[in-house]
Amino acid sequence: MWRYVLKRLAQAVPTVVGVVLITFVLFNVVGGSPAAMVLGQNAGARSLEEFDAARGYNKPLFFGRWTATRALEAVDFSDAPPSVRAQWGAGESGPLRLADGEALRIPFAFPLPEGETWRLTIEGRGTGFPRHGNKSGRFSTVWKKVFHGVENPEFRAEGGAVEIERVRLARGTRHVLDSQLVHYAGRLLRLDFGTSTSLNQPVGNLLRAGIGPSLALTVPILIVELAVSLALALLCAYRRGSWLDRGLVAVCVALMSVNYLVWIVIGQFVFAYKLGWFPVWGFESWRHLLLPAGIGVATGLGVNVRFYRTVLLEEMHHDYVKTAFAKGLGPGRVLFKHVLKNALGPVITNVALALPFLYTGSVLLESFFGIPGLGYLSLNAIHSSDVDVVRAVVLVGALLFTAANILADVALAWVDPRVQLS
């Protein structure tokens, strides 16, 4: 068995790498600028640059020797807005023109930090481009200057007029693989999930603090829901077609049809506020978990009972069940020892796929009842655009989902001799 587990873990390595890449793309590429989301669109360029530098967002995405910087936004004078043209002292339209001997005034957003390498690239045309340009004369010319932050690069027209079409500034990286992806993977290998921007705490500490309250809520929900669902499903399968079976199915459909929030509002208003049986908010004792756990069990019964009922009905029509009843075995022994045992495969798979959600917690229940678990933490992180927290919860949940699939395979082989691990 252990050999199989190790083999499956080795096979899961590409999946884990894929999960890491997907989370990286979702939060670093598709999600836009984390600095702008946290600090706001009106934040200064220096604040945004410092935020990116502290979290590795100022590097190239995958690889590269140079990367963009907020110290000087790249500008193309063919379509630059009036506000940008005014910063450069350009006219109302067309390229930026420099007379013979005139120097270009570069409007840096902030002084360039020392110890960094920079590359200023200017593209245009004219006889006044400096001699070290790639081309000169009537054709397009590219002028590049590599310098350090303490220097002040100067572009001056020499021996003629110059028309500048594009200007861009790039910051040099330490090496070609000094990128956001490598930085992110290196942090994960050190189990460093970053720092929460809203709480200013390491994300790892927040995850460890939230896992206890989440498991205190979700584990009882899973256990009670599984036991009650299987008992009701066995009863429905045994009494198929009776009024009891039809009534339970109707109740299951009703539970599935009513929105999750309705049960939370009814539970809080009726049982907590009006009757005073349960606390409405907090996580001080086990009594604070009774109402949210009960709501969690009630809302999940509909789906689970119908699923397990379908699985058990397939087993009830097999010949071994009829043989067991013909031998005089009681309904309880036949249902639990034979029917349920042979139907454990789908049950284990369903439970295994639910295990990762024990970690991530219940967002609605924790939020409405003030339980400081990972669901509550995730919702607050989404509201405050706390990228590192959301990314860590998503990543760990995805990795646990992969581990749950391996656990389901091993558990199936353990309970069913017909399944062979190979």
193 part of a folded domain: no
216 and 123 belong to one structural domain: no
* Mean per-residue pLDDT, 147-156: 83
2 part of a folded domain: no
* Mean per-residue pLDDT, 24-53: 84
**pLDDT tops 70 at residue 131:** no
67-102 burial string, b = 16+ CB within 10 Å, else e? bebbbbbebebeebeeeebeebebeeeebbbbeeee
Tokens of 351: 């439970």
207 and 168 belong to one structural domain: no
135 and 245 belong to one structural domain: no
**pLDDT tops 90 at residue 173:** yes
The answer to which of 129-143, 208-222, 259-273, 400-414 has the lowest mean pLDDT is: 129-143
User: What are the DSSP E strand ranges found in 152-205?
Assistant: 162-172
69 part of a folded domain: no
| Cβ(171)–Cβ(58) below 8 Å | yes
166 part of a folded domain: yes
The answer to which of 272-276, 322-326, 366-370 has the lowest mean pLDDT is: 322-326
270 and 376 belong to one structural domain: yes
383 and 257 belong to one structural domain: yes
Q: What local confidence, expressed as pLDDT, does residue 224 receive?
A: 92
How many Cα atoms within 13 Å fall on the side-chain side of residue 146? 5
215 and 259 belong to one structural domain: yes
393 and 340 belong to one structural domain: yes
| Segment (H or E) for 120 | strand 117-126
116 and 257 belong to one structural domain: no
Report d(CA 118, CA 64) in Å as an integer: 14
What separation, in Å, do the N-terminal and C-terminal C-alpha atoms of the chain show? Answer: 9
| Segment (H or E) for 397 | helix 387-415
369 part of a folded domain: yes
**pLDDT tops 80 at residue 150:** no
Q: What local confidence, expressed as pLDDT, does residue 137 receive?
A: 42
**pLDDT tops 70 at residue 304:** yes
Q: What local confidence, expressed as pLDDT, does residue 164 receive?
A: 93
172, 189, 221 — which closes off a domain?
172
Q: What local confidence, expressed as pLDDT, does residue 205 receive?
A: 92
Report d(CA 113, CA 379) in Å as an integer: 37
135 and 209 belong to one structural domain: no
Greater confidence (412 vs 234) lies with: 234
Q: What local confidence, expressed as pLDDT, does residue 133 receive?
A: 47
**pLDDT tops 60 at residue 138:** no
52 part of a folded domain: no
Checking phi first, is residue 370 left (phi over 0); if not, alpha (psi -120 to 50) or beta? left
400 part of a folded domain: yes
Q: What is the DSSP string of 201-231?
A: SBHHHHHHHHHHHHHHHHHHHHHHHHHHHHH
248 part of a folded domain: yes
Its domain, for residue 120, covers 75-172
SS (H, E, C) 251-292: HHHHHHHCCHHHHHHHHHHHHHHHCCCCCCCCCCCCHHHHHH
**pLDDT tops 70 at residue 139:** no
How sure is the predictor about 42, in pLDDT bands with cuts at 50, 70 and 90?
Answer: confident
Q: What is the total count of domains within the chain? A: 2
Q: Which CATH number characterizes residue 260's domain?
A: 1.10.3720.10
**pLDDT tops 70 at residue 418:** no
Report d(CA 265, CA 186) in Å as an integer: 45
132 and 224 belong to one structural domain: no
Nearest Cα residue to 113 out of 88, 150, 139:
150
307 and 391 belong to one structural domain: yes
Q: What local confidence, expressed as pLDDT, does residue 93 receive?
A: 85
Checking phi first, is residue 126 left (phi over 0); if not, alpha (psi -120 to 50) or beta? left
136 and 269 belong to one structural domain: no
